Structure 1
Amino acid sequence: MPFKTYLLETRPQFLTLSLVLVILGTSMAFFYGVFHPLHTLLVLIGLLLVHIAVNTLNDYFDYKSGIDLKTQRTPFSGGSGILVAGELSAKKVFWFGTISFILAVPIGVYFIFAVGWFLLPIFVIGTLFVFFYNTYFAKIGFGMPEFSAGLGMGTLPVLGIHMILIQGFSSSALYATIPSGILVCNLLLLNEFPDVEADKIGNRKTLPIILGRDKAAVVYSILTLLVYVWILVGVLLRFMPPFTMISLLTLPFAFKAISSSFDYADTSKMIPAQGANVMVVLLTQFLLGVGYILARAI
């Protein structure tokens, strides 16, 4: 199959998240006086490979469970559509995702030996989320599908990047990574709204299924606002530098996403909500990174 098909299978538009996570983690390390270009590049490559594995294996398991055959696809949810269209076989997609993860392993091993064994728990938890999200975490409810995504593709990557670069742990840095977890949790949460009926087929227990979409929209709204409150409190408590308040510039996108999330039955309104949510997730973290750089440079 042509390269373009495999590229589309990775859902490249969503890989931007990995870049933003690396920017934030690197900026936090820069704030502490550390910048290591080679390690930053290796981290970016490793995280992109893991993200590709997550996207492709998610496609594989959704297809095998029948979810993708029933899902209402939007530009932001519903999978790549490659398997449903028959452009790649399920076997090829599975091995594409698995090999992508295997290629990331040597990078993780290098950092464990070069930086420290304290990174091992982060890598182990990340591995569990990659391979058991669809088969386990997405099916146990209690907010676990969303929480595991936020932890595995938000908080832990940023914290791990920071720890790799400064070669240690900082409680202030841990505090600063919580917004990333909440934002990525919300990224998945809002994208689950159009997939409720399809996700039921795959026995998933997402918040929109467990709570209903009205209550899930309330949860989404609270979590979105919590991000900004968390940042403000972090600045007041001196866990985060004042310049990180530049991230509050994304509030208009947040209000748009919140107000539109209650119109989940109207696809024409839900898609703009998803788009605004993506802007909140990416821009808020990017601006947090800018804030850390400014705090160090000025």
Structure 2
Amino acid sequence: MSSMAVVRASRPNFLILAPLCVWLGIALAWRQPVEVQGLDIALVMLGALLAHAAINLLNEYQDFHSGLDLMTRRTPFSGGSGALPEEPTAAPRVLATAIAMLAGVVMVGGYFLWLRGLPISIVGLGGLALVVGYTRWITRSPWACLLAPGLGFGPVMVLGTMLALGGSPGMSAILVALVVMLLVSELLLINQFPDVEADRRVGRRHVPVVLGMAAAARIVVALLLGAYLLLVAGCVAGFLPPSGLLALLPSPIALWIAWRLPRVLGDRSGLSRVLGVNVATLLTTLGFLGVGLGWG
């Protein structure tokens, strides 16, 4: 039972985001004159999955101990997995697994530090700081809480993958990392909406708590639409290949999210529907972007 609780606490349904971000880094590296090794791809993918699972486990462990998990009304996209409230004795194993996964991330990072040198250490240490500090400290600052998820999956994971595979950062890589940053920060921001009252009670100070739901919804729309506009600008300017416009295929659904979100802030079932559509939109956008970069 404890082992199953650990698996649930890692939120396996959401771990697809890490491979998609790694795939973008791989596609960027392939576009450069570097020889990409299969072992390096496997290791960077492993490191990304371990880091993503570790932050999910730490978040679940700390939310359980703060009492937050007992206050939230869970949805498929917010409120935690519910694993530890149902199996409290699994908490030490969840923490131990998170630490073991972080140790694995450090080992993978050490290999790439030996292989590629100092730039990897800057990205890697930044990523570790985000993983360790997110729930305990970063969630106390609205703007840090807003930017941290996007930084972790965009500049850290996308650019970190490209650097680990021997690529060099350029404008195309920076644009892709920024697109990912905007989309992932938007994803985490909108997923905070159902838990506002519970988060406020345990001292979290993210954007919906500090500015209110209506203002936070406007920021969600700005981040979401800003990501697509940045993508278009990058393709028009020639920094990204025309095939990168494949990532615009889900944009009509993004427009629906931007229109619908302000209308369901007080409707829990309607909000949950928007959250689900938003997750699917983000994942398909990143998937099409990866195809476009690899094809172009």
One-letter code of the match for 2:275? Answer: Q
Matches within 5 A, 1:220-231: 220-231=220-231
Pairwise CA distance, 1:42 = 0.5
One-letter code of the match for 2:200? Answer: K
* Aligned counterpart, 2:148: 148
Cα–Cα, structure 1 residues 88 and 80, in superposed 2: closer, same or farther, change >3 Å? farther
Cα deviations by residue, 1:233-266 (Å, 9 ceiling, x for unpaired): 1112211111101100011221232233221221
Q: Structure 1: which 5+ residue stretches go unaligned?
A: none
Cα deviations by residue, 1:135-194 (Å, 9 ceiling, x for unpaired): 1111022x2112011101233100110111134332331122101011110110000000
In structure 1, what is the Cα distance between the partners aligned to 2:189 and 2:27? Answer: 27
In structure 1, what is the Cα distance between the partners aligned to 2:222 and 2:67? Answer: 32
Moved more, 280-289 or 259-268: 259-268
* Aligned counterpart, 1:243: 243
One-letter code of the match for 1:213? Answer: M
TM-score, L = length of structure 1:
0.94
In structure 2, what is the Cα distance between the partners aligned to 1:129 and 1:236? Answer: 33
Matches within 5 A, 1:1-298: 1=1, 3-34=3-34, 35-86=36-87, 88-141=89-142, 143-262=143-262, 263-295=264-296
Q: Number of aligned pairs?
A: 294
Q: Structure 2: which 5+ residue stretches go unaligned?
A: none
Cα deviations by residue, 1:45-72 (Å, 9 ceiling, x for unpaired): 1111111100000011111112111112
* Mapped contact 1:146–1:189 kept (Cα < 8 A): yes
Moved over 4 A (4+): none
Pairwise CA distance, 1:294 = 1.1
In structure 2, what is the Cα distance between the partners aligned to 1:245 and 1:171? Answer: 17
Q: Secondary structure at the match of 2:78?
A: coil
* Mapped contact 2:116–2:166 kept (Cα < 8 A): no
Pairwise CA distance, 1:32 = 2.1
* Mapped contact 1:150–1:183 kept (Cα < 8 A): yes
Pairwise CA distance, 1:115 = 1.3
One-letter code of the match for 2:136? Answer: T
Superposed CA RMSD:
1.4
Identity among equivalent positions (%) equals 34
Pairwise CA distance, 1:2 = 5.6
Cα–Cα, structure 1 residues 185 and 88, in superposed 2: closer, same or farther, change >3 Å? farther
TM-score, L = length of structure 2:
0.95
Cα deviations by residue, 1:111-136 (Å, 9 ceiling, x for unpaired): 01111211111111111111111111
One-letter code of the match for 1:66? Answer: G
Q: Secondary structure at the match of 1:83?
A: helix
Pairwise CA distance, 1:103 = 1.5
One-letter code of the match for 2:203? Answer: N
